[in-house]
Structure 1
Amino acid sequence: MSDHIPVSDWVKHSPTLQKMERIEAFFNGHGFTPHRHDTYAIGTTLSGVQSFQYRRCQRHSLPGNIMVLHPDEVHDGQAGTDAGFRYRMVYIEPALIQQVLGGKPLPFIEGGLSNDPRLHHAIRALLCNLDAAMEPLEEDDLIYDLAHVLDQISGQRVSRKALDFVAAERARAFIHSALDRVVTLEELSQVSGRDRWSLSRDFRALYGTSPYRYMTQRRLDLAKAMLRSGYPLAESALSAGFFDQSHMTRQFIQAYGVPPGKWLKRLKPF
């Protein structure tokens, strides 16, 4: 008879930052189903074997490895051994990277894993002292350093046509102002001054996801904040711009790999 006592899964969130989200988590077995979000997910495995499907291949991150999951790429997560796995991760919006790089195609790290010492240095600074708050200027410095490291080590995706960063930024700002209602691509075209399909292409290249999925993720950000503050699921869904609770739950699972109720139960304080 085995003496192994399963440890419950948990996720701890760092004190709220202005621009990034940092977590430490442990999963004993299955972590989350295939999903995708519109941020970079960059982190390191602390213990165990962190296994995940990414770009049609099974990956295995060992302690000390750096993971760089590109926005809008489907991935899952599970323990590679019976011991479970623990990791730290920072989630950073592509728009923050673009503010540093000024409209280049988003940096892409082939395979989702890297041992580059420059990236190790940048991530170590971001993921130490998760239980402490970070000053705004410190946060901006770390974002700047990370953006340039990603640009230096990435396998660049060559853009055949010029990207209109200014137009895409206008569209992105408009989305933030209209989360509580239906938005059309035609509206975004008018606001940005860019034709619909050129805008759609540029948006994907610059921010790593489509305008609709970007808008959905911002609604989910609002819903998560309300849930953590104690609001009921149904009220959070409607206030965040979803049709109803079922609509939010479907989108939540697609973005995070778990339903909102399970996500809440895993949250632990630092």
Structure 2
Amino acid sequence: MRAFSVLYVLCVTPRQEISAWRPPVAGVVEVFHAHFTEHVYPMHVHDAWTLLIVDDGAVRYDLDRYERGTPSDTVSLLPPQVPHNGSPATPHGFRKRVLYLDMTQLDERFIGPAVDGPDLTDPILRRRVGQLHTVLANQGDEFEAESRLALIGDRLREHLRPRLVFGSGRPDRGIAQSLRDLLDERLREGITLEEAARLVHAHPAHLVRAFSGAFRIAPHQYMMSRRVDLARHLLLDGQPPGEVATAAGFYDQSHLTRHFKRVVGTTPGRYARTGAAS
């Protein structure tokens, strides 16, 4: 059986509490619990589905040009590769629990429907997601977690499938998509805008405008948020922050720390203070 990799981090400030771990459950990339009162997420993307519930307070966020919100009675499903931000919507902040799910749980067909309606008011789904979080904290209950995750996946597809009737085809984004593919391929080593423009056969300024227009995030923001995502995975694998900085494409550890804290809300060192059990 794979090791149960777990990380609990208690930040010294009373204004934020964070815990994150990677359970040995297929389909779950990461579990992330947080209490923030002031942290504001910049526009960023994930390479996984973000399944979010808020236990206290509320979060406001922007997704695909629209302002959204996550009161405590909803389940929010944010699709991969779609930029979003986030900030407290109440004076006392918010307490949230997040599951990051890979593409085996929901494939690309559901990205468009999730963008159109990410916030789901469904008490049954809300209860099941909360129950799954409880089970995922208990080593040895992986089979129960897999069973609960399967039911959640079915429930999510029930919500999203009717919207596919109105067209699941994704628009041809041309050079914007080509640049995104290139940034994904060169995530660790990086690339200059001039080289990217030459490879994609577009003027640099036009390339930036096309990417920002298609994906609602600037190319440099996209690349940096993807690097932060990669750093999170490597930290949960047990790599020290100094090594993670180089492996994830950052100039040095201070470069990693600056961007990591801006996106995640805490430093890599605190995030990586791990207690692992097998």
How far apart are residue 17 of structure 1 and its match?
5.3
Is structure 2 residue 87 aligned with structure 1 residue 76?
yes
Question: How far does residue 168 in structure 1 lie from its aligned partner after superposition?
Answer: 6.6
Aligned-pair identity (%) = 20
Q: Does 1:177 align with 2:200?
A: no
Q: 1:32 aligns to what SS in structure 2?
A: coil
Find the aligned partners of 1:198 and 1:151 in 2 and give their Cα distance: 32
Q: Are the equivalent residues in 1 in contact too, given 2:60–2:89 (CA < 8 A)?
A: no
Give the aligned partner of residue 25 of structure 1. 33
Secondary structure of the residue aligned to 1:146 is: helix
| Structure 1 residues 201 and 37: CA distance shift in structure 2, 3 A | closer
Q: Is the 8 A contact 2:59 2:94 kept in 1?
A: no
Give, in whole Å, the separation in 1 of the partners of 2:214 and 2:240: 33
Q: 1:200 — aligned with what?
A: 211
Moved more, 115-124 or 36-45: 115-124
1:11 counterpart (16, 19, 24): 19
Q: So what's the TM-score if we normalise by structure 2?
A: 0.60
C-alpha spacing 1:19/1:241, structure 2 compared with 1 (3 Å):
farther
Partner in structure 2 of residue 130 of structure 1: 136
Cα separation, 1, equivalents of 2:31 and 2:251:
29
* Aligned-pair Cα RMSD in Å: 5.0
Counterpart of 2:85, as a letter, is V
Answer whether contact 2:77 2:119 (CA < 8 A) is retained: yes
Report the equivalent of 1:43: 52
Q: Secondary structure at the match of 2:135?
A: coil
Range with greater deviation from structure 2 (122-131 or 228-237): 122-131
- Cα distance in 2, alignment partners of residues 66 and 148 from structure 1: 14
Q: Which residue of 1 is the match for residue 6 of structure 2? A: none
Please tell me whether the aligned partners of residues 51 and 76 of structure 2 are also in contact (alpha carbons under 8 angstroms): yes
Q: Separation in 2 of the partners of 1:94 and 1:202? A: 25
User: 81, 94, 100: which is aligned to 1:91?
Assistant: 100
The match for 2:11 is none
Deviation at 1:167?
7.4
Q: Provide the aligned length of Structure 1 versus Structure 2.
A: 246
Query: What's the offset of the Cα at 1:130?
Result: 1.8
Tell me, yes or no, if structure 1 residue 65 matches structure 2 residue 74. Answer: yes
Name the structure 2 match of 1:54: 61
Task: Confirm or deny that 1:237 pairs with 2:240.
Answer: no
Task: Report the equivalent of 2:121.
Answer: 115
- Match in the other structure for 2:5: none
Report if aligned partners of 2:228, 2:248 keep a CA contact under 8 Å in 1: yes
- Is contact 2:37–2:94 with CA below 8 Å preserved after alignment? no
Q: Which runs of 5+ in 1 are unaligned?
A: 1-5
8 Å Cα contact 1:42/1:89 also seen in 2: yes
How far did residue 268 of structure 1 move? 6.2
1:73 corresponds to which letter in structure 2?
A: H
TM-score, with length taken from structure 1: 0.61
What are the equivalent positions in structure 2 for 1:127-166 lying under 5 Å apart?
Answer: 127=133, 129-131=135-137, 132-133=141-142, 146=156, 149-150=159-160, 152=162, 163-164=171-172
> Residue type matched to 1:129 in 2?
V
Question: In the alignment, residue 33 of structure 1 is paired with which amino acid?
Answer: V
Aligned 8 A contact 1:51 1:80 in 2: no
SS of aligned partner of 2:188? coil
Which of 239, 242, 259 is the matching residue for 1:251?
A: 259
Deviations 1:198-237 (A, max 9, x none): 9626851xxx645443332332233223334444433321
Q: Which amino acid aligns with 2:53?
A: T
